[in-house]
């Protein structure tokens, strides 16, 4: 079997067109969705992500603000900036670009963002809402990955889903979303024994490990849906966690890297910002 490609470029372009249309409607009602990104220091990868986010806002007609802070910024100064944005009615979404320099407390910074402006979905309140099945803001990468899985049209109920990776930003929320779709979910991690025995059972396999080419064809069930979240730089090229060329001969659907989940992450960030702006109208 040769897998069909879940094309993040095409899917995210469609989503962004829809978001642009809804943004235009919202503007007619007097609200321009606004996203603020705080970038501390000058990590080159973070610079690229922040630029992409700004471009996404521009494409969809949203207001974009980037707040650059020096690498030696104090926790107090960072939290004061978050407080300012929390109080700014032109800003509906606040994102603190991670990773922060080592001397800063990431969890405290994320907790400072108002949950309704937490468009990354990393605040404890939003993580808790996802865990308990209550409406909240869902983390962008797993939200985008689920969108891709659902686009296959496969009925997810009762399917075996295996997520490799248990981070708070990808693995755990991904597992929760698949559970909400009535999958039987297994979370694997660095201490999992006999990993391939788990992954070979997966109808849906999500790799969020951070190791290029980690998932090989012998770890994949025939006909599985394979979602590659990994972004790894190898010899100047971006590679996923999945050995794409070999695995695509076994899977039914697969996401490429680049051009897969990464594109969806930005689209979902814009979707979360739009939704946050829409909610301010329903509160009036
Ligand atoms: P992380 O380092 O926080 O987590 C990696 C996870 O992989 C851990 O939970 C660990 O237990 C697991 N792991 C490590 N070695 C393993 C092994 N040998 N066997 C099984 N599990 C193992 O990383 P993260 O933030 O969750 O990101 C994972 C990958 O996804 C990275 O490549 C990252 O760059 C990428 N990422 C992509 C997007 C996107 O938009 N596509 C967004 C976030 C992260």
Instruction: Quote the ligand 1 centre to 165 CA distance (angstroms).
Output: 5
- Report pLDDT digits (tens) over 218-229: 999 999 999 999
Strands of the sheet containing 34-40, edge to edge, are 63-69, 34-40, 93-96
Is the Cβ atom of 23 under 6 angstroms away from ligand 1? Answer: no
pTM above 0.75, yes or no: yes
The closest of 38, 24, 163 to 88, measured between CA atoms, is 38
pLDDT value of position 218: 98
pLDDT value of position 152: 98
CATH node for 140-262: 3.40.50.720
pLDDT tops 70 at residue 188: yes
The closest of 95, 189, 79 to 140, measured between CA atoms, is 95
Ligand 1 pocket: which of 168, 231, 240, 260 to mutate (most atoms within 8 A of CB): 231
- Report pLDDT digits (tens) over 236-284: 999 999 999 999 999 999 999 999 999 999 999 999 999 999 999 876 6
CB-based burial, 51-80: b 16+ in 10 Å, e otherwise = eebbebbeebbbbbbbbebeeebeeeebbe
The closest of 194, 183, 188 to 211, measured between CA atoms, is 188
- Report pLDDT digits (tens) over 118-168: 999 999 999 999 999 999 999 999 999 999 999 999 999 999 999 999 999
- CATH for 29-115, among 3.40.50.10860, 3.90.660.10, 3.40.50.2300, 3.30.365.10? 3.40.50.10860
pLDDT value of position 283: 66
The structural domains of the chain, with segments of one domain joined by +, span 29-115, 140-262
Tell me whether domains 29-115 and 140-262 share a fold: yes
pLDDT value of position 282: 77
Is the Cβ atom of 195 under 6 angstroms away from ligand 1? Answer: yes
Instruction: Quote the ligand 1 centre to 96 CA distance (angstroms).
Output: 19
pLDDT value of position 197: 98
The closest of 94, 36, 87 to 65, measured between CA atoms, is 36
- Specify the DSSP class assigned to residue 23: H
Share of the chain above pLDDT 90, in %: 97
The closest of 245, 215, 240 to 230, measured between CA atoms, is 240
CB 125 within 8 A of CB 136: yes
Which three-class secondary structure state does DSSP give residue 46? helix
Active site residues: 53, 97, 120
Which three-class secondary structure state does DSSP give residue 190? coil
Work out the widest C-alpha separation in the chain, in whole angstroms.
56
For the CA of 261, the nearest atom of ligand 1: 41
Instruction: Quote the ligand 1 centre to 187 CA distance (angstroms).
Output: 12
Cα angle 188, 4, 220; round to 5: 30
Is the Cβ atom of 254 under 6 angstroms away from ligand 1? Answer: no
pLDDT value of position 104: 98
Per-residue pLDDT, averaged over 19-40, amounts to 98
Ligand 1 pocket: which of 166, 209, 258, 265 to mutate (most atoms within 8 A of CB): 209
Instruction: Quote the ligand 1 centre to 23 CA distance (angstroms).
Output: 33
Per-residue pLDDT, averaged over 84-91, amounts to 98
Mean pLDDT, the chain, as a whole number? Answer: 97
Q: How confident is the model at residue 1 (pLDDT cuts 50, 70, 90)?
A: confident
User: In the chain, which residue ranges form alpha helices assigned H by DSSP?
Assistant: 8-28, 44-60, 75-87, 106-112, 124-132, 140-150, 171-180, 195-199, 244-247, 261-283
Taking the C-alpha atoms of residue 6 and residue 152, their distance in angstroms, rounded to an integer, is 8
Per-residue pLDDT, averaged over 107-127, amounts to 97
């Amino acid at each position: 079997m040769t897998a069909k490609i879940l094309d993040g470029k095409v899917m995210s372009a469609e989503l962004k067109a829809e978001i642009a249309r809804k943004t235009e409607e919202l503007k007619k009602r007097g609200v321009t969705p606004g996203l603020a990104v705080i970038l501390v220091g000058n990590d080159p990868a973070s610079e690229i992500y922040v630029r992409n986010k700004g471009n996404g806002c521009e494409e969809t007609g949203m207001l974009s603000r980037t707040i650059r802070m020096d690498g030696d910024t104090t926790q107090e100064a960072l939290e004061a900036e978050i407080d300012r944005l929390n109080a700014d009615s032109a800003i509906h979404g606040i994102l603190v670009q991670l990773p922060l320099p080592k001397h800063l407390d990431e969890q405290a910074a994320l907790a400072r963002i108002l949950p309704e402006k937490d468009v990354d979905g990393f605040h404890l309140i939003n993580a808790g809402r996802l865990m308990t099945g209550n409406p909240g803001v869902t983390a962008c990468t797993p939200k985008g990955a689920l969108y891709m899985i659902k686009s296959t049209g496969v009925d997810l109920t009762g399917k075996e889903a295996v997520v490799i990776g248990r981070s708070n930003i990808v693995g755990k929320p991904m597992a929760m979303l698949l559970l909400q779709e009535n999958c039987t979910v297994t979370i694997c991690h660095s201490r999992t024994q006999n990993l391939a025995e788990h992954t070979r059972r997966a109808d849906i396999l999500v790799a969020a490990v951070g190791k290029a080419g980690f998932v090989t064809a012998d770890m994949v069930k025939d006909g599985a849906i394979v979602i590659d979240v990994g972004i790894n730089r190898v010899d100047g090229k971006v590679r996923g966690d999945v050995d794409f060329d070999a695995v695509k001969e076994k899977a039914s659907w697969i996401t490429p890297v680049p051009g897969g989940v990464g594109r969806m992450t930005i689209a979902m960030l814009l979707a979360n910002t739009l939704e946050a702006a829409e909610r301010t109208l329903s509160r009036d």
